[in-house]
């Protein structure tokens, strides 16, 4: 063996400690760069699915209008039930000799359009007659032994909400309800005394297409509001909300909603949080998408609006320029605005 060859050394297999640390550092950097991109891509996909959900609602709402020549009510109730606050008579009238809406009380706008979203069988499990015997809650499906309220509609759940598919807590009778991430836009708020009930879906509403004077591409129809933190608000099939039980926070919501009284300080479109011990975020639209929320317009299109478009509202009583959300929530006020989202 030559002297030169005898002096050669074979390199040991494997990494040195320094090399291993360098590789780990590089992988960490790559993961740090990649993870936000993956999360952004997943959120983009969820947001696109949310848009698709809302477009299906839009089609169903229009099909309801084609059939009944009006859009559904947010929900319906008797002319003087529970409070003296103003409301329209139920669009289908009252059951003769009764104070009950002929089309049944408290059934949500979602229940009315269910047949146009391939949920006709689910709707047919309910007795929707306008009588005390057909009260929406405590109805049981003899085929399953459960309440029909537990039927989940995937289209009514935003895919960005990790609680999708959950049910409300059991009430005193053990009944639970499926939940939704989408509420009808009742206008500025639920009270006509506070210039509300000027949107598309509110208590005893029966809005026709011709009544949307501001234009179908300028008027909000449905917005995002995840179920409340305690899962007691945001029921799909029927809901009353808090007093005066006009459905606000449960099936509909105003963009400047006032809680329980026309003089209450309104809440507005702003970020919310799932961890909300007092469930205070139930009184305003918000979403689990970063920066804003998707909104369905009356023409069937869907638009993402940032929170900057929502407020805060001027509550001094003096003249002011309405925010973008307020202008878009009303159907016939003639507000001028431009969308820069």
Percent of the chain with pLDDT over 90: 71
Contact yes or no for 296/222 (Cβ under 8 A): yes
* Strand pairing class (182-185; 252-253): parallel
What is the pLDDT at residue 2?
46
27-51 tens-digit pLDDT: 878 777 666 655 667 878 888 999 9
**What value does the mean pLDDT take over residues 281-299?**
96
pLDDT in tens, 209-264: 999 999 999 999 999 999 999 999 999 999 999 999 999 999 999 999 999 999 99
For 297-336, write each residue's pLDDT tens digit.
Answer: 999 999 999 998 887 665 555 555 678 999 999 999 887 6
Cβ neighbour number for residue 276 with a 10 Å cutoff: 14
Nearest of 301, 263, 333, 319 to residue 61 by alpha carbon = 301
Q: Rounded distance, CA 218 to CA 320, Å? A: 20
CB 325 within 8 A of CB 287: no
pLDDT of residue 165: 78
Residue 35: predicted pLDDT: 60
The predicted model gives 175-195 an average pLDDT of: 95
pLDDT in tens, 50-61: 999 999 999 999
Distances (CA, A) of 174 to 48, 137, 149, 235: 36, 11, 12, 15
At 333, list the tokens. 């006020």
**Mean pLDDT, residues 87-100 taken together:** 97
Q: Which two tokens stand for residue 104?
A: 């049944």
C-alpha 60/C-alpha 40 separation (Å) is 30
Identify the bridge partners of residue 184 per DSSP, sorted by sequence position: 222, 252
pLDDT of residue 234: 95
Mean pLDDT of the 135-157 span: 87
How high is the pLDDT of residue 141? 80
Is residue 202 a contact partner of residue 331, using CB atoms and an 8 Å limit?
A: no
277-to-166, 266, 273 alpha-carbon distances in Å: 18, 20, 10
More confidently predicted of 296 and 324: 296
DSSP state of 15: -
pLDDT at residue 11 is higher than 60: no
Q: Residue 341: which pLDDT band, with cuts at 50, 70 and 90?
A: very low
Residue 286 in tokens: 């918000």
């Amino acid at each position: 063996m030559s002297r030169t060859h005898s002096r050669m050394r074979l390199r040991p297999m494997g990494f040195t400690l320094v090399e291993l640390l360098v590789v780990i550092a590089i992988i960490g950097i790559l993961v740090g760069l990649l993870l936000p991109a993956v999360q952004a891509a997943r959120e983009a996909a969820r947001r696109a699915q949310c848009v698709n959900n809302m477009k299906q609602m839009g089609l169903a709402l229009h099909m309801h209008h084609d059939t009944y020549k009006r859009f559904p009510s947010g929900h319906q109730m008797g002319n003087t039930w529970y409070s003296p606050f103003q409301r329209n008579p139920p669009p289908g009238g009252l059951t003769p000799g009764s104070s009950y809406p002929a089309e049944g009380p408290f059934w949500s706008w979602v229940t009315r359009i269910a047949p146009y979203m391939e949920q006709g069988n689910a709707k047919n499990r309910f007795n929707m007659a306008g009588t005390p015997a057909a009260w929406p809650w405590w109805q049981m499906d003899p085929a399953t032994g459960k309440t029909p309220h537990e039927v989940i509609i995937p289209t009514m759940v935003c895919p960005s909400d990790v609680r999708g598919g959950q049910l409300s807590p059991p009430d005193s009778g053990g009944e639970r309800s499926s939940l939704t991430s989408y509420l009808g836009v009742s206008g500025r708020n639920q009270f006509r005394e506070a210039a509300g009930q000027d949107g598309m879906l509110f208590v005893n509403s029966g809005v026709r297409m011709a009544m949307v004077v501001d234009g179908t591409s300028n008027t909000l129809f449905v917005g995002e509001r995840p179920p409340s933190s305690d899962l007691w608000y945001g029921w799909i099939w029927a809901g009353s909300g808090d007093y005066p039980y006009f459905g606000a926070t449960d099936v509909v919501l105003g963009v400047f909603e006032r809680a329980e009284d026309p003089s209450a300080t309104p809440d507005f479109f702003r970020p919310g949080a799932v961890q909300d011990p007092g469930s205070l975020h139930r009184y305003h639209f918000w979403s689990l998408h970063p920066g804003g929320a998707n909104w369905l317009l009356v023409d069937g299109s869907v638009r993402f609006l940032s929170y900057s478009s929502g407020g805060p509202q001027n509550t001094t009583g003096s003249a002011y320029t309405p925010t973008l959300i307020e202008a878009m929530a009303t159907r016939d006020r003639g507000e001028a605005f431009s969308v820069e989202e």
